[in-house]
C-alpha cells in the first residue's frame, strides 16, 4: 500500500533547486484544515481550546499558523515559554505542563500568567515558595494500573513518571484551596499515538467522573478539564485515521451523561495535541547519495537520525516514497540509512521499495511532529532547514539549516572558532 505525498514531484524538484536537501517540508493548507476540523468537532463546548504541544514542532511560523486558527500553546520548558511569549501568546493562551520543574521555569510561567498544570503534589509547596500560587491551578492525574480499550492494553500509566495518584488529587485540591487557590483544572494523559476513536471518550469519562468526585469531596470550583494529547496518526498506510468528528461526539455524550447532571455543565474542555495536529502535514525530503551491496542492500541518504530520530530511537515506522516511482513495483529489499557512526541510524529495515537510483528524491512521511524537534548534533552533523509549502503554492524558509558556526557557537569564549562560518 502507498501513502500520498502532499507535494507533486515536479513541484518538489523546483523546491530542491532553491533549498538543498535534506529539509523538513510542511503543508500550510493541511495544517489549517486540520485545526478547523478539530475546532468544529468540539464546537459544542463553548470554552473549548486546543493548546498545541510546542515540543512537537517548536517552530515560530508553525505556531503562528495555529495561533491564527485559534489555538493556544502547551509549554513544558523555559525556552518554550519564551518562544510562545515572543509570538504573542498571552495569559490563559499558555498552558504550562512540566515535570521535575526548575524554579526559573515556574517563575517565568507565573510572570506570563500562564495556566500552570502541576505534575506532583510536592510541587504545590515548591511553586508557592519559588513563584507564588495563582488563583487557578490544574493538576495532572495518573490513575495507575493499565489502560485498556476493548480488553487490549494501550499503555501502563503505573509505569509513567507523571501525575498525582487519586488520593493525592483530593489532598492536593484541599491544600491548594487552603492556600487561596480559587479555580481548578484537571488533566490526564493515558496513552500515546492512539488511533482508536474510543480513546478520547473513554479518557474523558474517567476525568469527568473524577471531577465530579473531587467537587463532592472538596467543593472545588473545577473550570476546565484537559484531555491532553494521545490522539494518533496512521503511520502505516493500512491504518485508519482517527475520526475527530466521531471523537468529539463521543466526548460530548460523556460530558452530558456525567458532568451536566452533576452541575458541571459549564466546564471548558481543552486538548493539547501535537502529533495529531502536525504529524501528517510534514515530511523529510532527502536525496539518495550512496548505495551499498554487501550482506544486505543499503541506500544511503543525505539525511540521518539527526533529522529524524524516531526510527532509530523507537524502531518507529515511517512510510517512504521514492518520488516519481510511486507506480513502480516495490521489488527491491533495502535498509535505508543515514551516515551516522551508529548502526541504528536507519529510516527503514528490510523495506520493499522500488529500485532507488543515486539522485532520487526520497520523502519520509509523517514528520510534522516529533521530527525536527528531536534532532541533535551527534557526529557534528548539522540540523536541516524547515520549509513551509504555503497555501498559494509558494514556499518560505521558516528555519535555516545549521552551519558549522552554529555548531561551534558555544565555544565562542575560546577564540578558537571565531572565523568559522
The Cα–Cα gap between 180 and 80 comes to 28
The Cα–Cα gap between 75 and 53 comes to 7
- The answer to whether the beta carbons of residues 155 and 192 sit under 8 Å apart is yes
User: Distance of CA 17 to CAs 11, 14, 21, 89, 265, Å?
Assistant: 10, 5, 9, 35, 55
The Cα–Cα gap between 237 and 278 comes to 17
Biggest CA pair distance of the chain = 69
Element spanning 349, H or E: strand 346-353
203: nearest Cα among 160, 149, 162, 243: 149
Annotated active-site residue 139? The verdict is no
The separation between CA 399 and the C-alpha centre of its own chain, rounded to angstroms, equals: 18
The Cα–Cα gap between 82 and 80 comes to 5
The Cα–Cα gap between 400 and 3 comes to 28
- The answer to whether the beta carbons of residues 28 and 389 sit under 8 Å apart is yes
28: nearest Cα among 271, 240, 326, 277: 277
Please count the CA atoms within 13 angstroms of the CA of 202 that sit on its side-chain side: 16
Among residues 71, 75, 283, 341, the one annotated as catalytic is 341
- The answer to whether the beta carbons of residues 285 and 21 sit under 8 Å apart is yes
Which cell goes with 412?
A: 565562542
Q: What residues act catalytically?
A: 341
Amino acid at each position: 500500500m502507498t501513502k500520498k505525498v502532499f507535494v507533486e514531484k515536479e513541484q518538489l524538484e523546483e523546491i530542491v533547486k532553491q533549498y538543498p536537501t535534506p529539509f523538513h517540508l510542511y503543508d500550510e493548507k493541511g495544517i489549517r484544515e486540520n485545526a478547523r476540523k478539530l475546532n468544529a468537532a468540539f464546537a459544542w463546548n463553548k470554552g473549548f481550546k486546543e493548546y498545541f504541544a510546542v515540543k512537537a514542532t517548536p517552530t515560530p511560523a508553525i505556531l503562528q499558523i495555529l495561533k491564527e486558527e485559534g489555538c493556544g500553546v502547551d509549554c513544558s520548558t523555559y525556552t518554550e515559554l519564551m518562544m510562545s511569549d515572543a509570538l504573542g501568546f498571552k495569559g490563559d493562551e499558555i498552558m504550562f505542563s512540566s515535570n521535575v520543574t526548575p524554579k526559573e521555569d515556574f517563575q517565568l510561567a507565573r510572570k506570563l500568567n500562564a495556566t500552570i498544570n502541576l505534575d506532583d503534589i510536592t510541587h504545590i509547596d515548591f511553586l508557592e515558595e519559588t513563584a507564588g500560587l495563582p488563583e487557578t491551578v490544574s493538576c495532572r492525574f495518573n490513575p495507575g494500573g493499565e489502560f485498556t480499550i476493548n480488553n487490549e492494553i494501550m499503555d501502563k500509566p503505573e509505569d509513567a513518571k507523571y501525575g498525582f495518584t487519586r488520593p493525592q488529587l483530593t489532598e492536593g485540591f484541599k491544600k491548594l484551596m487552603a492556600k487561596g487557590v480559587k479555580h481548578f483544572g484537571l488533566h490526564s494523559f493515558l496513552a500515546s499515538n492512539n488511533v482508536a476513536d474510543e480513546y478520547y471518550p473513554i479518557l474523558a469519562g474517567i476525568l469527568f467522573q473524577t471531577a465530579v468526585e473531587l467537587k463532592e469531596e472538596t467543593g472545588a470550583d473545577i473550570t476546565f478539564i484537559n484531555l491532553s494529547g494521545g490522539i494518533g496518526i496512521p503511520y502505516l498506510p493500512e491504518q485508519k485515521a482517527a475520526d475527530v468528528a466521531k471523537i468529539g461526539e463521543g466526548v460530548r455524550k460523556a460530558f452530558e451523561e456525567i458532568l451536566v447532571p452533576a452541575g458541571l455543565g459549564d466546564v471548558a474542555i481543552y486538548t493539547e495535541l501535537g502529533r495529531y495536529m502536525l504529524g501528517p502535514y510534514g515530511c523529510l525530503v532527502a536525496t539518495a547519495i550512496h548505495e551499498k551491496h554487501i550482506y544486505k542492500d543499503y541506500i544511503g541518504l543525505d539525511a540521518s537520525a539527526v533529522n529524524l530520530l524516531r526510527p532509530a530511537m523507537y524502531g518507529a515506522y515511517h512510510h517512504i516514497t521514492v518520488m516519481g516511482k510511486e507506480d513502480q513495483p516495490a521489488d527491491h529489499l533495502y535498509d535505508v540509512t543515514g551516515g551516522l557512526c551508529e548502526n541504528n541510524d536507519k529510516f527503514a529495515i528490510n523495506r520493499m521499495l522500488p529500485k532507488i537510483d543515486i539522485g532520487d528524491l526520497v520523502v519520509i512521511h509523517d514528520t510534522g511532529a516529533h521530527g525536527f524537534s528531536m534532532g541533535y548534533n551527534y557526529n557534528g552533523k548539522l540540523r536541516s532547514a524547515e520549509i513551509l509549502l504555503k497555501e498559494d503554492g509558494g514556499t518560505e524558509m521558516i528555519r535555516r539549516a545549521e552551519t558549522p558556526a552554529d555548531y561551534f557557537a558555544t565555544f565562542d569564549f575560546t577564540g578558537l572558532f571565531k572565523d568559522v562560518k
